[in-house]
Amino acid sequence: MRKPFITLVLASVLIFLTSIFLRPQELTADKSTFDFGTIREGININVNFTIWNKGSKGAEIREIRTFAACVEARPIAQRSLAPGEKVKMDFVFESLGYGGASVDKNIEIHYDNPRLSPLKLKVKGRVLALEAYQAPIGEMTYNFFVLIDLRPPESFAKEHIIGAVNVPSRMMEQWVSEASKSFSAELIIYLYCEDGTESDRTAKVLREKGYSQFISLVGGLKEWKQQLGTKFLISGKI
């Protein structure tokens, strides 16, 4: 009866030693926590970890789970890691909406070792609430618009809507050629002239060329004054 028992014990010891010296795939990181300290709401923070496989068998990363405000900056270079191989993971923590909160969130790296997976990494820090005189960039760029006055420079100097940029209609083609690289889906470009005639024509021509950002203010400055008087009007000499 003793021989089978001894054999069983030896087998157990052998399995244990094998598991120590011949570890399966096991992912670890250069740090378990990324602490971004204290920031103001609206600031985005670059978060990075270096992951490597310290096991004796190749590992396959199957899924990366992040909390809503932490997004992958770019896809990781590879998902299969040979023993000893490393890969850098880059994320961006977007603090908008976290004002006044302390952040303590996990990023989970799921891989093909159900016993050890997932590898849990932590992002933490404090986000200060916005002051009454502050606004995040995201608030400004949401439906960002540009206001263009198509009238001659002398008319613009006499009177125009606050914030308008003077691009006389004869120069619009050149302006579009230079600025089009900055156009994006959320950009709106309002055009106005004296009575809406020139802005209608210009917007129509540009949209036919594929520039859907351009919109004409109906009735131009004449209709503006009729509805709003001198509200938001300013002299270009100031």
The CA distance from 73 to 115, in Å, is: 29
C-alpha to C-alpha distance for 52 and 85, rounded to whole angstroms: 5
213 plus 124 within the same structural domain: no
Q: Can you give the pLDDT of all 238 residues of the chain as single tens digits? A: 555 656 655 555 555 545 544 568 899 999 999 999 999 999 999 999 999 999 999 999 999 999 989 998 888 888 999 999 999 999 999 999 999 999 999 999 999 999 999 999 999 999 999 999 888 888 877 778 999 999 999 999 999 999 999 999 999 999 999 998 888 888 899 999 999 999 999 999 999 999 999 999 999 999 999 999 999 999 866 5
Residue 52 lies in a domain: yes
- Domain termination residue (choose one: 81, 98, 128): 128
Q: Are residues 109 and 201 in the same domain?
A: no
Q: Are residues 99 and 154 in the same domain?
A: no
Q: Are residues 91 and 41 in the same domain?
A: yes
Q: Are both 40 and 111 inside the same structural domain?
A: yes
Residue 229 falls within a domain, yes or no?
yes
User: What's the confidence (pLDDT) of residue 235?
Assistant: 84
226 lies in the same domain as 148: yes
| CA dist., res. 149 & res. 196, Å (int) | 11
Number of domains in the chain: 2
Asked if residues 15 and 38 have their Cβ atoms less than 8 Å apart, the reply is: no
Handedness of CA 124, 102, 111, 60 (dihedral sign): negative
* 107 and 35 within one domain: yes
- Give the pTM: 0.70
Q: Does 81 map to a domain?
A: yes
Residue 64 resides in a domain = yes
Beta bridge partners of 146: 189
DSSP structure class, residue 12: H
The answer to whether the beta carbons of residues 35 and 125 sit under 8 Å apart is: yes
CATH number for position 52: 2.60.40.10
**Statement to judge: residues 170 and 77 lie in one domain:** no
Domain that holds residue 78: 25-128
Report if residue 20 sits inside a domain. Answer: no
Return all residues near 155 (Cβ < 8 A) that are at least 6 apart: 194
Residue 19 maps to a domain: no
Q: CATH number for the domain including 190?
A: 3.40.250.10
- Domain end residue (candidates: 74, 102, 128): 128
In a domain, 197, yes or no: yes
Same domain, 112 and 155: no
d(CA 42, CA 100): 12
Does residue 188 belong to any structural domain of this protein?
A: yes
> ω into residue 118 within 30 of 0, thus cis?
yes
The number of helix segments (H) and strand segments (E) in the chain equals 6, 15
SS (H, E, C) 58-112: CEEEEEEECCCCEEECCCCCCCEECCCCEEEEEEEEECCCCCCCEEEEEEEEEEC
State the Cα torsion 50-54-60-63 to the nearest 10°: -50
